[in-house]
Structure 1
Amino acid sequence: MVNPVVIRPAVGDDADGVTAVRRAVYEYKVMSPAATRHLITVSAPEERFLALVAESGGEVVAMGTAALNIWTSEPGQSNVSIYVHPDHRKQGIGNALAERLHQHLEEVGAVRTRAFVHPDGLEFARNRGYDGTRQLHFSGLDPRVLPDQPPTPDGIELVAMDQLDPRQAYAADSIASLDEPGDSPLDAIAYDDWLEEIWNSPALDKSLSIAAVAGDEVACFTAVETDRERAWSGMTGTIPAYRGRGLAKLVKSVALRRCAEAGITAAYTSNDDENGPMLAINNWLGYRRVLTELGLLRPLTS
């Protein structure tokens, strides 16, 4: 007998189950149970964040989230994410989650939503009104095997991000994010929201994340997230005045070495297809392509 599927709001105690499903779907995406709990329980009210799980036989088998994008000046932008455990697909779970999430976004005033999908999920998404705009390449490496570390330029000090004041990190992140490829500009990042969702998140391992500092200013940084033996290289950014000096290559090289010293055996990252400079850096470091996801957009009718 097939267990009935129940879709309900996610709660913090779903973190272990959601993390297990996420790992089964996305081996190359790193999120610890603590980071998953933070994702479910911490968001700005203006995001109108909704997290749903699908449960079968008392076990979490899928998750879906939807939220307004409040980090862009473009009104009505939003994001959707849905993933279903491979053993529970073709049962209507993804469709049920999509319907509830899209309805929620329309009710809170979204006019367009974005999702990234596996190539094998493209037909599912297109059947629900999504169309492609970009590609996101995911790559991995063994941080114990790296090219020689580049020299540190004069006037630059390398520090772990746990040595920074959060205002320093925020200034660099918000400036570097202005050039981040995407369908909407990241040009409205409020400090308090960034502090709660990024800096205070247990996802961010500040002891492994590295910043290149010039005086009191963060010139370049790379953020590292960890889950046991795996690491995720999230945002890496250089503010414009310090570009062209090899700082991104340097901070990523140092951070990956620290990951190896901490027992990390697999490190992953992602790059938008338009971000040629970072793709070149990651190729030099030894990252090799794991999978390419498709960035899709769908208009909403609110």
Structure 2
Amino acid sequence: MTMTVRDFRAIDAEAVAAARQAAFPYLVTTPRTVVWESENAPVEQHYRLLVAEADGQVVGACEMGVFHDSGEAGLAFANTTVNAGARGRGAGSALVTAAEEYLSGLGTAKIFAWTLDEPGSVTFAERRGYRRSRCSRVQRLDLTTADLPPLGAGGAPDGVELRTAADFADDPRPLYEADAECTEDEPGDVDTTRLPYAEWLALSWGHPALDRELTSVAVVDGTVASYSVAHTDGGGRYWSGMTGTLRAFRGRGLAKLTKNDSLRRARSAGCREAFTGNDGDNGPMLAVNKWFGYEPAATEWRYVRELSA
């Protein structure tokens, strides 16, 4: 078998999407999102997508770049996926080696990588000198059978207006301000700074998987108080991109309200499966998702390698 590692080309999008879906079947990944992410990454991120080609067939991929929005310099990411039938033949090692060489050349001090909690993936990471960090709990809700709680006769409590992201098409800045505050409170192993509005417009508002009609927003006295972002793949899969409530409005059940409204919209639109991922220490959202009836689907671990070591 002849193994080649090279840069991604648009013609590879379908194969890369298939590799990602094989490794992480709950994510909203399509050929379109693969191409879009490759073409629209910020220059400062130094994003690069490599593919492993075996005997003329793309069997795996690795996306990499630096956390340009982190307050700590020298942090990077490299996430590798290989088709199930091609594992154990060197594709993963070739991709990770190439990624480490590239990121090292950018002055990277630490590389973060997501790994499924399964023996093969964990062993692969630890043998390469990566150590375990935080975990993410992936959960699944069957929308065809889910008993979603009623929204109430009025749809929302007094003083709360339920809207969608599509209603903010002319001026999405209120959603940006809410997202910026809520993201600051998200637990994680990489602290990030607030994205400039223009960059948020490009990366979040303009993402092809974002479904604005299914993204629900709770407005209180004219202020965006809570929201639940919906990403869809057009094939029945729904991913919760983010559910957040501004600090001044927490404790009022608005996260449940917006997520409930979004899930109901998704089911009406033909979505059959809803997935979400939460940091293992994010107790409030884990409790919210359990309340909805989500069940465990997978555990991911963030692994980190210090290049100086």
User: Is contact 2:151-2:261 (8 Å) kept?
Assistant: no
User: Is contact 2:140-2:275 (8 Å) kept?
Assistant: yes
User: Is contact 1:172-1:218 (8 Å) kept?
Assistant: yes
Alignment partner for residue 74 of structure 1, among 72, 75, 81?
72
Q: Given residue 185 of structure 1, which amino acid in structure 2 is its aligned partner?
A: D
Alignment partner for residue 284 of structure 1, among 282, 286, 291?
291
Unaligned runs of 5+ in 2: none
The equivalent of 1:61 in structure 2 is 59
The equivalent of 1:137 in structure 2 is 137
The equivalent of 2:219 in structure 1 is 213
Q: Which range moves more in the overlay, 7-16 or 122-131?
A: 7-16
User: Is contact 1:72-1:185 (8 Å) kept?
Assistant: yes
User: Is contact 2:52-2:94 (8 Å) kept?
Assistant: no
Deviations 1:59-97 (A, max 9, x none): 321110111112221222211100100000111111111
User: Is contact 2:28-2:209 (8 Å) kept?
Assistant: no
The equivalent of 1:169 in structure 2 is 175
Mapped to 1, the partners of 2:150 and 2:191 lie a distance apart of 33
- SS of residue in 2 equivalent to 1:97: helix
Alignment partner for residue 208 of structure 2, among 199, 202, 205?
202
Q: Which range moves more in the overlay, 265-274 or 165-174?
A: 165-174
The equivalent of 2:192 in structure 1 is 186
Identity %: 36
The equivalent of 2:251 in structure 1 is 244
1:36 is displaced (CA, Å) by: 1.7
- SS of residue in 1 equivalent to 2:289: helix
Mapped to 2, the partners of 1:301 and 1:150 lie a distance apart of 53
Q: Given residue 203 of structure 1, which amino acid in structure 2 is its aligned partner?
A: A
User: Is contact 1:149-1:254 (8 Å) kept?
Assistant: no
User: Is contact 1:203-1:225 (8 Å) kept?
Assistant: yes
Mapped to 2, the partners of 1:29 and 1:159 lie a distance apart of 25
Alignment partner for residue 18 of structure 1, among 13, 16, 19?
16
Mapped to 1, the partners of 2:288 and 2:135 lie a distance apart of 18
How many residues align? The count is 300
Deviations 1:129-160 (A, max 9, x none): 21112111111111232331345232221111
Q: Is it true that 1:233 corresponds to 2:234 in the alignment?
A: no
- SS of residue in 2 equivalent to 1:293: strand
The equivalent of 2:159 in structure 1 is 155
Compute the TM-score of the two structures, normalised by the length of structure 2.
0.93
- SS of residue in 2 equivalent to 1:65: strand
Mapped to 2, the partners of 1:159 and 1:131 lie a distance apart of 43
Mapped to 2, the partners of 1:81 and 1:216 lie a distance apart of 40
Q: Given residue 80 of structure 2, which amino acid in structure 1 is its aligned partner?
A: I
1:129/1:213 Cα in 2 relative to 1: closer, same or farther (>3 Å)? same
- SS of residue in 1 equivalent to 2:193: coil
Unaligned runs of 5+ in 1: none
Q: Given residue 174 of structure 2, which amino acid in structure 1 is its aligned partner?
A: Q
User: Is contact 2:80-2:95 (8 Å) kept?
Assistant: yes
Compute the TM-score of the two structures, normalised by the length of structure 1.
0.95
1:286 is displaced (CA, Å) by: 0.9
1:53 is displaced (CA, Å) by: 0.9
Q: Which range moves more in the overlay, 275-284 or 160-169?
A: 160-169
Mapped to 2, the partners of 1:242 and 1:287 lie a distance apart of 24
- SS of residue in 2 equivalent to 1:22: helix
Deviations 1:37-59 (A, max 9, x none): 11121111100011101123433
The equivalent of 1:117 in structure 2 is 115
The equivalent of 2:101 in structure 1 is 103
Mapped to 2, the partners of 1:189 and 1:270 lie a distance apart of 22
User: Is contact 1:221-1:238 (8 Å) kept?
Assistant: yes
Mapped to 2, the partners of 1:150 and 1:112 lie a distance apart of 45
Q: Is it true that 1:5 corresponds to 2:11 in the alignment?
A: no
User: Is contact 1:231-1:259 (8 Å) kept?
Assistant: yes
Q: Is it true that 1:264 corresponds to 2:262 in the alignment?
A: no
